[in-house]
A and B are shown apart, each in its own frame.
Chain A
C-alpha cells in the first residue's frame, strides 16, 4: 500500500501547492497593484481580503457555462484545458526543495521548455475556435509572439547549462552553492526574464489580450470556469516562470537558517512581485515593435551571451 501511495504524495503536494498558489496570486496581484496605484484593493472578505479568492472561485464556478453557437465546440472546450495541462505538466519536473519533486528527470529543463511551448496552442486554438475577429487577431498575435520569444528563451538558458553541464534542475541548483548564476549569467537572466514575461503574456507583452485594442483578445468569448482556466493558467504560468528564474539564477532553495522550501517560496514571490510591478508601471508596445525588439535586439544578445559563456568555460 505504502509502495503505491509513496510516489503519489509529492504529486498531491505539488498539485495542491501550485493550485493554491495560483489562486492566492490573484489576491497578491490585486493587493500589490492597489498599493502601487494609491487604492485599497480587495480588503472586505476575510482577514486582509484573503478570502476574496474563495468568493471569486464560488462566483466563477456557478456562472453559466456558455459556448457561443457560432464557435467550434470541440476545440473551444479543448483550448482552456490545453493551457492548464501544459503548465501543470511543467511542474512535474520542478523541484521545490531537494526532497519535494515529482519526477527528478535528467532532462528536466528541456521538458519544461517543451511543455511551455504547448501553451501557445491554448491561445491559438481558443482564438480560432471562438470564431470571433478579436479572438482571431489575439490568437494570431499570440502565435507569433510566443513562437519567437521561445527561441530567445531557449538560447538564453544555454549559458546556465554550459556552466552546469546538466539539464537536471537539482544539479543546476546544487551548482550554485558558491555563487548564484545571476552574477555570471547576468545577461542571460535579463533575456530570460524578458522572454519569460512574453511567454506568460503579461503587460508589457500582453498583445494577445490588449484590452484597449482587442477587448480581451483570444478569450473574448470565454466565460465561467473556461475563462477561469485561462486565468488560472496565466497565473500558473507566472508562477512557473518565477520558480524557474529562482532555480536557474537565484540558487533555488538555498539560503541560511530557514528551511529550503520557505526560501524557495520567498524568492519566488519576490520574482512574482517584479512581474506585477512591471504590470503596474509599463505601457504596451505595438505588435511590430515587439517583434522587432525580439529578433533585432534579444536574439543577437542571447547568441552573444552563449558565445562568451562558452568561450570563458572552454578557456
Chain B
C-alpha cells in the first residue's frame, strides 16, 4: 500500500482536474474533492478508465455540513456527498467527496457505473432529500412513503418530544392505509405477459422464512419468480441519527444492536474509529481480549446462520443443536462480560474490565467441545443429498458481479476471491495471528455455506492462540480520552479528578476530524465513518452495513428460480434485518 497523499495526488493527476483538491484525514484514506460538474467524468475515470480501477462502491452517503464548525481545508458546501470506493487490485480505499450547495441539491446518478449505487442513492435521497437525476427509481427506501422530511438533515428532530403530539385524523388513517395498497406498476412490474397473467405474492413482513421484518413483493409465473423486489425499512431505528445526540461513549450499546447476532463485533469498528480520531494506542492485552471476544461472536453468529439456513431448507433439528452450542458461547460471554447477546463490552481505549478468574478454563472447554459437533453437523446438514440438491447451483454469482455489487465477507469468498480484511488490512492486532482464509469457487448457496463453516474452525484457531498468548498488562489505554478513565489516581490528584469528572459526566471531547474504520464482521465488511466536530458527540456517524449491500443483490440472483429457491438464497446470504435497516 502506498501512502494516502501519494495515491490522492496520483489520482488527481490522472483526473487532469485543476479543480480537484485533496483533503488530509487522520485515517490515512486518500480523500479527493471534486466539484459537482466534474463528478461524472471523475466517477467514470475511477470506475472504468484508471489503471487498477476502483470498481467497488462500498458506501455512498452524505453529510449535512450546515452546522459544522471545523471545515478548514474543505470547499464550501451545504451538503457533502461521500463516495467510498475500493479497489481490490490495489487493496486501497478512496474517498471521493462532492460539495453541494443549496437546500435540496440534485446530483447526476452513478448507477450506470456502480450497480450498487442504486440503493445507496435512494438512501441518501430518503435521509437527506438530495435528488439523483436519471436514477431508475428514486423513491424512499427506509422511511415510509408518507413520511415528511428527511431524517438525517440537521433540522429534522431526533426525539419524539421535539415534535408535537401525533394525533392522526380519520383522513390521515385513510391516507396511510391507501399508501399500503400494492400496485404492481409502482414497483415496475407488469401484470401480464404474452401467455400468462402473473401472480403477485406478498412475502412478509411477517413470514417464517424471511428471518425478521423483511417484505418482498414477488411477481410469479406459476411458482417461477419473474421478479422479486425487497421492501426494507421495517427495522429502521435511526441508529445514525441517534449517534448525533449520544456521547461518543454512550453510543457503544447502540452499535451492539446493528447486527444483533454478533455482539461485540459491532463495537469493534466503532471504537477503532474513535480511537483513530483520539489518537489512542490500545494496550496488547486489550487487543487480544477484543480479538478473542470478536471471534467468539463470529462463531455465535455463524451458528445461528447455520441452524436457520438448514431450517429454511426444511430440516427441523439442526437449529436446536446449534442454538444449544450458541448457549454455551453465551455462558462464556456472560462470565466475562456480564451481558449475553449485547454485552457492549468494548470501550474507547480498551475493554470494560479485565478477564475474570478461570476464563481460560471456560474457553478451553468450549474449544474442545465444538469441533466434534461440527463434524456431526457436516453429516446432518452439509452431506445430506437433499440439502445439496437444494443448494448447489442455486443463487450463484460470479466474482466480477460480486465485486461490482459490493458483496463482501463470506459471500465474496464463496466465489473464489481470497479476501479477508483481517488479512489484507489487519486491524486491532490481527496481524499477529495465524489463520486461513477459506474460499470456495462456485458462488452458490452451498459454497457460501462451506465458507462459513470453515470460518468457524478458523475462529476456533484464533481463539486458541489468544488463550495461549494472552499478554499481561492493562486492559485499557492510559490516555486522557480513554472512557471511562482509569480511576486509581483520582483521589490524590486534582487534575486527574477534574478530568475524570468531566469525561464521565459530559463524555470525552474527541478532536475534530474524520475517521473511517472497517472490519471483517461475520456478515461482511462493516465500517463506521465518523465525523467529529470537536465535541462530546459525533457530528455524523455513518454505518456501512454489509447486509444492506447483500440485500440489494437478492432480485438479481433470484430471477427465474422457484419460490423455494428464494428462501434458500435468503438463508444463504446471511443477513440481519437490523443490519440492513440500521
Contacts and interface: CB of A to CB of B under 8 A. Distances in A.
Interface of A: 33, 36-39, 133-134, 137, 203-204, 206, 210-215, 279-289
B314 A203 contact: yes
A133 B321 CA distance: 33
A206 B564 CA distance: 12
A215 B207 contact: yes
B356 interface: no
Top 10 A-B pairs, shortest CB-CB distance: A284-B314, A283-B315, A212-B209, A37-B320, A283-B313, A283-B314, A286-B564, A212-B312, A37-B317, A283-B387
Contacts of A212: 208-209, 311-314, 567
B386 A283 contact: yes
Contact of B315 (A133, A210, A213, A282): A282
Given A203-B314, A210-B314, A212-B312, A285 B389 contact: yes
Q: Which of A213, A281, A288 has the most CB of B within 10 A?
A: A213
Interface of B: 199, 201-202, 207-209, 223, 310-317, 320-321, 324, 380-381, 384, 386-387, 389-390, 562-565, 567
B317 A137 contact: no
A287 B380 CA distance: 21
Contacts of A39: 320
Given A215-B208, A285-B390, A287-B562, A279 B567 contact: no
A8 to B, nearest CB: 42
A282 B387 CA distance: 8
B210 to A, nearest CB: 9
Contacts of B320: 37-39
Contacts of B312: 212
Nearest to A137: B223
12 contacts: A36-B317, A38-B320, A39-B320, A137-B563, A203-B314, A204-B314, A211-B209, A213-B564, A281-B380, A285-B389, A287-B564, A289-B389
Contacts of B565: 286
Contacts of A37: 316-317, 320-321
A33 B316 contact: yes
Contacts of A286: 389-390, 562, 564-565
A283 B310 contact: yes
Nearest to A214: B563
A134 B223 CA distance: 11
A212 B317 CA distance: 14
Contact of B386 (A211, A284, A287): A284
A153 to B, nearest CB: 21
A267 B380 CA distance: 27
B352 to A, nearest CB: 33
A284 B313 contact: yes
A206 B223 CA distance: 16
Nearest to B384: A283
Contacts of A288: 562
Nearest to B208: A211
A280 B317 contact: yes
B451 to A, nearest CB: 20
Given A213-B564, A283-B387, A285-B386, 16 more contacts: A33-B317, A37-B320, A133-B201, A210-B564, A212-B313, A212-B314, A214-B563, A215-B207, A280-B317, A282-B314, A283-B381, A283-B384, A283-B390, A284-B386, A286-B562, A287-B223
Contacts of B311: 212
Contacts of A134: 201
Nearest to A207: B564
B321 to A, nearest CB: 6
A244 B132 CA distance: 68
Contacts of A281: 315, 317, 380
Contacts of B316: 33, 37, 203, 279-280
Contacts of B223: 137, 287
B500 to A, nearest CB: 49
B575 to A, nearest CB: 15
B437 to A, nearest CB: 29
B580 to A, nearest CB: 19
A144 to B, nearest CB: 11
Contacts of B567: 212-213
B314 A133 contact: no
A276 to B, nearest CB: 11
Contacts of A289: 389-390
B389 to A, nearest CB: 6
A89 to B, nearest CB: 31
A38 B317 CA distance: 9
A211 B311 CA distance: 9
A142 to B, nearest CB: 13
A33 B320 CA distance: 11
A38 B390 contact: no
Contacts of B384: 282-283
